[in-house]
A and B are shown apart, each in its own frame.
Chain A
Amino acid sequence: MFIDIQNMCFNYTNSSAKAVEGFTFSVQKGEVISILGRSGSGKSTILRLIAGLEMPKCGSFTLAGKKIFDDYTFVQPEKRGIGMVFQDYALFPHMCVADNILFGLPKMSRHEKMKRLKEVLELVELEGFEKRYPHQLSGGQQQRVALARAIAPQPELILLDEPFSNLDTDLLVKIREDLRRILKKANATAIFVTHNQNDAHALADRIIKIKDGRIDQVGRPCDLLGIPTNDEVELELLPEESQKELVSV
């Protein structure tokens, strides 16, 4: 298996409740996985544990045959070869688009760097935006820069936390399609977090449903469709238009 996580558990220092418990899961290379669950269920925590931004209390994790953590090892996040797109993108505000993307590139010649920059900008269709600063971009453009930045160093795995939360519905559909195209074209293995069933169904090869820090259900989108396990996600099964109406009421 490309990614193998065994029995990962975790609780935040300032609370005794388990934020994640008994998380066991494996992923094949090139798969796009969605973690779906309601607010507070532990989705972001799982991503941060995989990224190395939090330290698990137990369990083990191997990535492409390399031991990332177990009881005796803990590879620092910068050494894991994992890319991440943050919920609010976290683009460095003091750097232009080009510098943001170049920031994570490993040591290579200037020529190679420029080549890679051009490649990823092409991939996200943002050629010509190199010199812009993050605050001069729309939400969707920022999201694509964040994606380009994460992809540029060619990580083994890409993590995305609520990639669509800041977008309005019209933009969302377009970006969602873009994202799937980009991920597949880059042949990237990706795990993304969402609380929206539609996003999960549109993007993922497989879906993990999380409830109270534990895995509730796993399956392909077509398998899971129509058997919602908790009432809360039912609302999100509705088509986008009626969802919008419900919210605006």
Chain B
Amino acid sequence: MPPLLEVQNLHTYFYTDGGVVKAVNDVSYQVGEGQAVGIVGESGSGKSVSALSILGLVPYPGRIVEGRILFEGANLLALSDRDMQRIRGNRIGMIFQEPMTSLNPVLTIERQLTESLETHLEMSRGAARRRAVELLEMVGIPDPHQRIKEHPHRLSGGMRQRVMIAMALSCNPNLIIADEPTTAVDVTIQAQLLELMKSLTRELNVALIIISHNMGIVARYVDRVFIMYAGKIVESGPVAETFRSPQHPYTLGLLRSIPRLDLPRRDVLESIPGQPPDLAYLPKGCAFRERCTYAVDRCAEEVPPLVGVTRNQQSACWQAPISVTKESAGK
């Protein structure tokens, strides 16, 4: 059986006055039915744009210049706008990273929820209203009967985020793409929301893509993780193995930078030296090279492909497999 979602050689570029921003630069991955995968990586590395590409929502002047996106066997890039809209409403639920950019400021929360229930699930006004309140209750908004009548700007950051989650769940999707779904909620509600999504994957076989900077969430809720840097996936593998023995120097640097509650406090946090590249002016060779302590001459010449380095792990690094001593992993 083919996987639920298959992204093949996706290239999404922005054609700006200042140059071509290669936001997604040859990305391929798969998500099976009921599988939970995580995408983590550098800020500005193309995580959100790759999600928007799946949904056909890349904003101008962006364009998918190459690649295929197969969802339930159909190539999404070949669909008409109308069919794509139906997929967005019915099959794929999207939780956008910044709620205020996707919630309509002049409509009440109620209207935003009922609108999609009415159009996509053909519910009556009354049924849609009841369902909308139910959904808000599910995501833990107190006093949903009252709060549903509010406009987005009167809600707290985390409440807006939960409204987004309610909207994504409202259409009974097969795939949920959650782009930083819980950055504005506290850890107890975060746990509640992620448990809710995770239970959908278990009970209804819904697949889940979680994009997150929070390594704790990734460790707890996903099976497989993809690490992105400068528009590319630089490492992938089962989450436990990847965290235990990362196979790309960037992943290693990320894991070392995390302040941890279960370990003693350090004076200064470790971080990866240097600056992330501008995707409009990518250097030749490996984009991470200038910040990498493992770099060799070859890294300046050739872009390393993503290839298997252990039984389950892939890495895009000429130096892989890299061995990590306990001490250097930041423990």
Do A and B associate with each other?
no
Residues of A in contact with B (beta carbons under 8 Å apart): none
